[in-house]
Homo-oligomer: A and B are copies of this chain.
Amino acid sequence: MNPLTFDRDKPLDFVALGRLCIDLNANEINRPMEETVTFTKYVGGSPANIAIGMARLGMKTGFVGRVADDQLGRFIVRYLQDNQIDTASVLTDRSGSVTGLAFTEIKSPTDCSILMYRDNAADLKLEPQDINEEYLKQAKAILISGTALAKSPSREAILLALHYARKHGAVVFFDLDYRPYSWTSPAETAIYYNLAAEKCDVLIGTREEFSMMERFERNAEEDDETTARKWFGYQASVVVIKHGKHGSIAYTRQGERYPGVTFPAKVVKTFGAGDSYAAGFIYGLMQGWDISRSTEFGAAAAAIVISSHSCSEAMPTQEQIEAYIAKCRNGEIVGS
């Protein structure tokens, strides 16, 4: 079952908006960052990763965002282009901003953390005037990410993009992707997440993220069904609630409930699991697959990414995902 319909006449399959940044991944892993000597540079940021994932899967993909006017900003644009992502709406910020950074620390496969540089980040300089109605009109689907709502003027740019997306019938995916830094208060976060989510078709987030959005309501038991019903009262058709290692569940407006699957993996680190899942899942829905097959495809993509050192660079192709699923079924891949 797949409750979404995409306008086949639109030339762009998928446009992601928001954060474009740099991951600096520790090369010497399984130790604290104090003892790391060298780092490898990758393009990062949740919507960037998902866009790269979609492009690897062969979707005609575009991006809307701002990059810093420096070497790292130019590296990001070049990398997107090398991955066949349209950068017509990726603008260079001239305000003196810098590229957001994420230093990753991998103490063990299950003990990972990130040291973020988000002050004066170029991606949060996105302005309403950067949102090109004609560009969004061409997109079958768009994806927004919660971090882009954290500060003005990016917040207003995203709210305007939602207006245009609704006006022109794009399907809107909202990857909640809540990061406490950048936000002033939990109340501020909840207010803008709710305003944005009211206008979205598919919500994807962790149980904690959905609970954060319910601070002005009663759902003390953190009941998934209650959460999903709330959003079906607005625009949503699909709500995916992730419960960490207990797996995720997709709810539909029609009242169905699809528990997810997981695949074995030789885990290097947990970063990127959500982004690769999102790319695989959205890809499936856009192929018209039913929700079960889409979530399975997302889960396999996630297993591939957490088995590698990077996020963006590791985003798999359809062939890779299918091969991985086949190998798991054969018993060729077992977990770490």
Is A287 on the interface with B (CB-CB < 8 A)?
no
Residues in B whose Cβ lies below 8 Å from that of A101: 101, 117
Does B71 contact A187, Cβ atoms closer than 8 Å?
no
Is A128 on the interface with B (CB-CB < 8 A)?
yes
Known: A41-B37, A41-B38, A195-B195. A71 touches B160 (CB 8 A): no
CB distance from A214 to the nearest CB of B (A): 12
Is A194 on the interface with B (CB-CB < 8 A)?
yes
Residues in B whose Cβ lies below 8 Å from that of A128: 185, 187-188, 191
Does A156 contact B188, Cβ atoms closer than 8 Å?
yes
User: Which of the residues B33, B34, B153, B188 comes within 8 Å of A188, measured between beta carbons?
Assistant: B153
Residues in B whose Cβ lies below 8 Å from that of A5: none
Does A191 contact B160, Cβ atoms closer than 8 Å?
yes
Residues in B whose Cβ lies below 8 Å from that of A192: 156
- For window 100-130 of A, CB contacts with B under 8 Å fall at 101, 103, 105, 115, 117, 119-120, 127-129
How many Å lie between the Cα of A100 and that of B8 in the bound state?
49
CB distance from A323 to the nearest CB of B (A): 27
Copies of this chain in its oligomeric complex? 4
Interface stretch, picked from A72-80, A239-247, A259-267, A289-297, is A72-80
Instruction: Add 11 more A-B contacts to A34-B71, A120-B120 (CB < 8 A).
Output: A33-B71, A33-B75, A34-B78, A38-B40, A71-B115, A98-B119, A133-B216, A152-B184, A153-B185, A156-B188, A159-B195
How many Å lie between the Cα of A152 and that of B120 in the bound state?
18
- For window 158-187 of A, CB contacts with B under 8 Å fall at 159-160, 163-164, 184-185, 187
Is A83 on the interface with B (CB-CB < 8 A)?
no
Is A27 on the interface with B (CB-CB < 8 A)?
yes
Residues in B whose Cβ lies below 8 Å from that of A129: 187
CB distance from A308 to the nearest CB of B (A): 16
